[in-house]
Structure 1
Amino acid sequence: MIDHLDHLVLTTADEAGCIRFYTEVLGMQLERFVGGTPPVTRQAFKFGQQKINLHVKGREFEPKANTPVPGALDLCFIAAIPLDQVIERLATAQVPIVEGPVMRTGATGKIRSVYVRDPDLNLIEISELAG
């Protein structure tokens, strides 16, 4: 019945820090769009054929999760560049690696991953396919 993920929603307590992390560190594109009822200006991070809609704690859009809280996500992204280049980019941005590189099992097979935390302390796994 389900084919793929279109978007998910991230709730942040630090809008500026969150935008910096997902755009400058992870290289996603910030998109502003009008949506909802009533229509309001919203923000999202676009990458590939997916996006992450952004909610700011206390200013979430309806409908929303029952208990939207910053720091509750554990996300895994497949990098568009080799993991060694990801590691270099993280070092340049002074984003500490929590764990890795380590081997894991992703949705389609083995992946090689590093783990970092975003400004809200969500766990972010960045991976490359391992064959």
Structure 2
Amino acid sequence: MIDHLDHLVLTTTDEQACIAFYVDGLGMSLESFGEGRKAFRFGHQKINLHVKGKEFEPKAHLPVPGALDLCFIASVPLDEVIAALQHKGMVIIEGPVMRTGATSRIRSVYLRDPDLNLIEISEVAS
């Protein structure tokens, strides 16, 4: 019945810091839509952005910054991701480590966004 994820919603306390992390840090594209709404686009998906206290309706029952644990599959080898993150001064808190992804084994690093959401960036393991 379900084929794939279209988008998810991230709630932030600091819109500019969040945009800097996902756009400048991770290379996602910033998109504006609707009446002042923002989203981060990557691949065929996007992350819609809500600012705590100014969420769009309908919203999650308890939208809380820092409650997400997201895993992204990189478009380049993980060693290139690690080098780029380090070059930008982004702190890797764990990894690289082997994990189990949705369809295969993955090799991952972990970091936190400005709201302390856990961000996993991975490559499919050979």
Settle same-fold status: TM greater than 0.5: yes
Q: Distance in 2 between matches of 1:22 and 1:89?
A: 13
CA deviations on 1:8-62 (whole Å, 9 max, x unpaired) are 000000100000000011100000011xxxxx22000000000000000010000
Following TM superposition, the consecutive aligned residue runs of length 4 or more in structure 1 with deviations greater than 2 angstroms are: none
Which residues in structure 2 correspond to 1:54-65 (within 5 Å)? Answer: 54-65=49-60
SS at match of 2:47: strand
The amino acid that maps onto 2:32 is R
In structure 2, the partner of 1:6 is 6
SS at match of 2:36: strand
In structure 1, the partner of 2:25 is 25
Q: Distance in 2 between matches of 1:72 and 1:59?
A: 17
CA deviations on 1:50-89 (whole Å, 9 max, x unpaired) are 0000000010000000000100000000000110011011
In structure 1, the partner of 2:110 is 115
In structure 2, the partner of 1:37 is none
Q: Cα offset for 1:92? A: 1.1
Q: Give the TM-score normalised by structure 2.
A: 0.99
Q: Distance in 1 between matches of 2:18 and 2:76?
A: 22
What percentage of residue pairs aligned between the two structures are identical?
72
Count of aligned pairs = 126
SS at match of 1:16: helix
Segments of structure 1 that go 5 or more residues without pairing to the other structure are 35-39
Which residues in structure 2 correspond to 1:1-131 (within 5 Å)? Answer: 1-34=1-34, 40-131=35-126
CA RMSD of aligned residues (A): 0.5
SS at match of 1:97: coil
